[in-house]
């Protein structure tokens, strides 16, 4: 049997059918992956769309459970498990009405959809243009459905935290204040002529702006008054149960918030030993004093956004040069560096990554944030680049998409369930960059240790906010003490408030990867092959952590 014959198995047929349905229900996801079939429509966040998604989850769960796991190949067994995990999660989140919280989000809420989409959807031919314009027209119904969800949140009492609503209101007001001639969607639209851009501008004036205005009116009116003053999910109706579900959704593990809190504190104690050593070697009285010296060093601050982007490109090039010593398989797709768009940079993280198009027409994209440029230090940029781009998310996601031995679902859809694997790999990559010799000096190594401490602090802060009743200011103060700037401590705190549980994925996933590596190195001794470990770790796509722990030791075999 050839390596790809298993792709026709009943499990993979079910999985690929499931993924096809996911793309139909989430047409903008299809567009991001370069699939243009649904480029004339948007998601239906209303009752009809949610009911379709619910039926898909229920049907997929039943069909997957009807396939006996006995005798399945390793990949089929993994795929079956993943479908059941995803379906269970989707059904539980629908039961809990989690859509009422997700509709208000300053990072990836409905108001961010079209500006992001414009960068991925070509409208450069008559056919493509008509699909794009039809999609823009459908924004009217899309935002009306989201406005109804706001009202549903009011009726049920499941509303967003006030700070998240306030940030979302402010972001919408900034968007609405942009003159039509400079509006984001017409400006970013990938059209072939100014006449076509004028058509986009007309729809922006007649459809998009009124739809955003109607959403904003409800959000900034009765909804804002009914938001939760306490930022933690514990303060929502059935909030303790909601948080447990979100922890499981992001990490694929059943974790106790209090235990996670203590893990974070212990990881902070460990990383602080390394930070104190570098500070001492550098002649500083403390890590805080050393960090202040770095912050005050003009050479550590980009002079412009272009300088920030250029430094990121240099780091990616250096990492690619060294990568063959640590990886047997490298991605074919390249990685482009872009600036975060100005309209959202105030609310966006320092950097993030978007995957390549599946047809090879577009490589991966690494976005770096130039907002508040004096706070964007090169010593932080280096470790972030190795996390988000090379060898981090770009390697992991591009290799997943390019893998011929994985089904379409496993190549493109597995990240639905692999959050802790994905972000665990990202954080592991920052530490690996140190082994690879990528950091230019102790200052950049200190930046990496600060980043590790930040991920440990996330365990403390996320559980603190959502389970232990921390205030927003407690989180900001704790992150400042950990080493973040005021800007980042504030943005990050509000991100954790908006996305309960997501902040746990980094350190929880990294700890699991490091544990498996240590166990295999102890098992194989001098025959342990780090390149083979990395290749196998990335060769099966995004996985639930329990699945990774069960299967990885069988994949990594010591050379004879």
Task: Tell me the average pLDDT across 495-508.
Answer: 97
| Sign (positive or negative) of CA dihedral 410, 33, 415, 426 | positive
Q: How confident is the model at residue 277 (pLDDT cuts 50, 70, 90)?
A: very high
Q: How confident is the model at residue 1 (pLDDT cuts 50, 70, 90)?
A: very low
Q: How confident is the model at residue 2 (pLDDT cuts 50, 70, 90)?
A: very low
Q: What pLDDT shows up at residue 557? A: 81
- Interatomic CA distance for residues 461 and 477, integer angstroms: 10
**Cβ(313)–Cβ(380) below 8 Å:** no
Rounding to the nearest 10 degrees, give the CA dihedral for residues 140, 91, 103, 248: -150
pLDDT tens by residue, 172-231? 999 999 999 999 999 999 999 999 999 999 999 999 999 999 999 999 999 999 999 999
pLDDT at 4 > cutoff 60:
no
Strands 351-354 and 335-339: unpaired
pLDDT tens by residue, 410-447? 998 888 886 899 999 999 999 999 999 999 999 999 99
pLDDT tens by residue, 76-128? 999 999 999 999 999 999 999 999 999 999 999 999 999 999 988 999 999 99
End-to-end Cα separation, the chain, in angstroms: 25
Task: Tell me the average pLDDT across 456-482.
Answer: 97
Q: What pLDDT shows up at residue 62? A: 98
The pLDDT mean for the chain works out to 95
In sequence order, which residues have a C-beta less than 8 Å from that of residue 203 and are 6 or more positions away?
133, 136, 137
**Cβ(537)–Cβ(552) below 8 Å:** yes
- Interatomic CA distance for residues 267 and 509, integer angstroms: 13
pLDDT at 276 > cutoff 90:
yes
Q: What pLDDT shows up at residue 558? A: 73
Q: What pLDDT shows up at residue 6? A: 63
**Cβ(128)–Cβ(191) below 8 Å:** no
- Interatomic CA distance for residues 179 and 177, integer angstroms: 6
**Cβ(96)–Cβ(241) below 8 Å:** yes
């Amino acid at each position: 049997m050839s390596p790809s014959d298993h792709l026709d198995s009943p499990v993979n047929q079910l999985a690929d059918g499931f993924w096809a349905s996911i793309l139909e229900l989430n047409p903008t996801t299809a567009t991001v992956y370069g699939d243009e079939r649904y480029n004339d429509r948007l998601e239906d966040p209303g009752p009809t769309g949610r009911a379709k998604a619910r039926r898909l989850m229920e049907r997929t769960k039943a069909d997957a459970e009807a396939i006996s796991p006995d005798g399945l190949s390793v990949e089929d067994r993994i795929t079956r498990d993943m479908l059941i995990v995803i379906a269970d999660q989707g059904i539980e989140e629908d039961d809990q009405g989690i859509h009422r919280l997700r509709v208000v989000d300053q990072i990836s809420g409905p108001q961010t959809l079209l500006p992001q989409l414009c960068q991925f959807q070509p409208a450069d031919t008559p056919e493509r243009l008509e699909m794009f314009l039809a999609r823009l027209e459908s924004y009217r119904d899309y935002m009306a459905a989201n406005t109804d969800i706001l009202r549903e949140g009011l009726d049920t009492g499941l509303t967003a935290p006030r700070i998240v609503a306030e940030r979302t209101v402010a972001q919408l007001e900034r968007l609405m204040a942009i003159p039509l001639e400079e509006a984001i969607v017409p400006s970013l639209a990938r059209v072939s002529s100014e006449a076509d851009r004028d058509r986009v501008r007309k729809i922006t004036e007649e459809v998009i702006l009124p739809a955003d205005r109607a959403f904003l009116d409800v959000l900034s009116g009765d909804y804002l008054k009914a938001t939760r003053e306490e930022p933690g999910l514990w303060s929502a109706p059935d909030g303790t149960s909601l948080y447990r579900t979100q922890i499981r959704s992001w990490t694929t593990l059943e974790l106790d918030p209090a235990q996670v809190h203590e893990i974070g504190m212990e990881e902070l104690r460990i990383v602080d030993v390394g930070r104190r050593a570098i500070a001492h070697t550098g002649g500083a009285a403390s890590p805080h004093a050393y960090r202040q010296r770095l912050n005050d060093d003009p050479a550590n601050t980009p002079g412009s956004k272009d300088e920030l982007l250029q430094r990121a490109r240099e780091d990616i090039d250096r990492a690619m040069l060294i990568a063959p010593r640590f990886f047997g398989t490298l991605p074919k797709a390249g990685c482009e560096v872009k600036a975060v768009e100005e309209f959202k940079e105030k609310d966006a993280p320092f950097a993030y990554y978007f995957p390549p198009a599946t047809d090879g027409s577009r490589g991966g994209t690494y976005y770096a944030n130039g907002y508040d440029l004096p706070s964007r230090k090169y010593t932080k940029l280096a470790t972030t680049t190795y996390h988000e781009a090379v060898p981090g998310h770009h390697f992991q996601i591009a290799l997943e998409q390019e893998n011929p031995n994985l089904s379409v679902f496993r190549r493109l859809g597995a990240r639905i369930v692999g959050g802790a694997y994905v972000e665990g790999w990202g954080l592991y990559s920052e530490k690996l960059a140190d082994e690879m010799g990528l950091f230019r000096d102790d200052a950049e190594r200190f930046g990496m240790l600060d980043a590790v401490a930040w991920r440990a602090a996330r365990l403390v802060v996320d559980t603190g906010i959502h389970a232990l009743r921390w205030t927003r200011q407690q989180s900001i103060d704790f992150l400042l003490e950990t080493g973040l700037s005021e800007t980042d401590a504030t943005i990050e705190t509000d991100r954790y408030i908006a996305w309960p549980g997501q902040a746990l994925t980094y350190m929880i996933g990294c700890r699991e990867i490091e544990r498996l590596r240590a166990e295999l190195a102890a098992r194989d001794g001098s025959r342990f092959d780090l390149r083979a470990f990395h290749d196998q770790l990335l060769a099966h796509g995004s996985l639930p952590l329990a699945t990774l722990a069960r299967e990885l030791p069988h994949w990594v075999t010591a050379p004879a």
